[in-house]
Structure 1
């Protein structure tokens, strides 16, 4: 007569527990890696939104200075007094502010810098270099990723050769 024993030996049980422990450890390490980066997309989207806001502000300004009717006479005063695109060249701030200078406290850790330069010959096809400015806004977020957006402002309103 044959007696069937159902169950596991001690060695099989120890091996099953060890294998389960290895699987749990692997899953937890990958899970912690995913959780650690879960806010990164939100921070990047916030950086893009800040850069878009500043770029829109700059590109809405006139191409020529209203007081001197020249391209880039040099900025005077702060951001609230900027009256043409070139005034923003070299602007940088370690905090995000509204155009009137009020700080946006919920955006601590972000910084912004703006550069304005003449376009290179042929950069925009047949548009002459004196007819357009290249505006680059760079936002650095709290995890030290820099996000740059570039836009162009043309002199369509005052120079017929640029239209």
Structure 2
């Protein structure tokens, strides 16, 4: 009967649980791992909206660039009588009407009839896409439901291929730069496009 005790002791030792020190170490390791996972999840959640806002800013920039590029680009104001045939700015006739620009002091209505109406001649950025309250508006002047977004346009005379960079109204190529910014954007979305002047309609002899 006494010979059965040593095997029993060995079985009891082999089935022994973890010690208090081992349990504490396990809890510490699991706590550190969970803290790291929670931190990663927090950062991911906090930044998950930024790609969506950046994509939306890019869509806004593309739409505004397309609007500007579709405007007329002649030596004369498009409302001039010979806008389609003038060979240089000096041949422009008097304007037949005010077009969509209106007399001095009136609010301009988009879309403008000339690319140069969107920006300053010196190429400085202009907030040409805002309504009277400073909010982004569509081409019909209706406010966009896009709080926090800001857009500017710069019209810059620039050489394009074989087209040299001109000056003033005789410039034949323009760089159109749209910048859309929003809170937290770093850097803002910048989109460039070009607009070349088409050859005027030949005069009939």
- The answer to which structure has the higher strand fraction is 1
- Change in 2 beyond 3 A, CA 1:60/1:6: same
> Which residue of structure 1 aligns with residue 149 of structure 2?
110
- Aligned: 1:89 with 2:89: no
- Change in 2 beyond 3 A, CA 1:50/1:63: same
Question: CA offsets, 1:9-56, max 9 Å, x none?
Answer: 010001100110111011111110111000111101100000000000
The count of aligned residue pairs is 153
- Change in 2 beyond 3 A, CA 1:136/1:159: farther
Does the 8 Å contact 2:153/2:177 carry over to 1? yes
Q: CA deviation at 1:82?
A: 1.7
- Change in 2 beyond 3 A, CA 1:81/1:6: closer
| Structure 1 residue ranges, 4+ long, deviating more than 6 angstroms after superposition | none
- Change in 2 beyond 3 A, CA 1:11/1:159: farther
Distance 2:182 2:110 in 1: 23
After TM superposition, the score normalised by the length of structure 1 is 0.84
Gaps of 5+ in 1: none
Report 1:40-119 matches (<5 A). Answer: 40-64=50-74, 65-68=77-80, 69=83, 70=89, 76=101, 77-80=107-110, 82-90=112-120, 91-92=126-127, 93=130, 94-105=134-145, 107-119=146-158
Distance 1:81 1:30 in 2: 46
Distance 1:84 1:27 in 2: 55
> Which residue of structure 1 aligns with residue 93 of structure 2?
none
- Aligned: 1:10 with 2:40: no
Does the 8 Å contact 1:95/1:112 carry over to 2? no
SS at match of 1:80: coil
Q: CA deviation at 1:119?
A: 0.4
Q: For the aligned residues, what is the CA RMSD? A: 2.2
Highest Rg: 1 or 2? 2
Does the 8 Å contact 1:132/1:154 carry over to 2? yes
Q: CA deviation at 1:117?
A: 1.3
Q: CA deviation at 1:95?
A: 2.1
Does the 8 Å contact 1:79/1:88 carry over to 2? no
Does the 8 Å contact 1:79/1:100 carry over to 2? yes
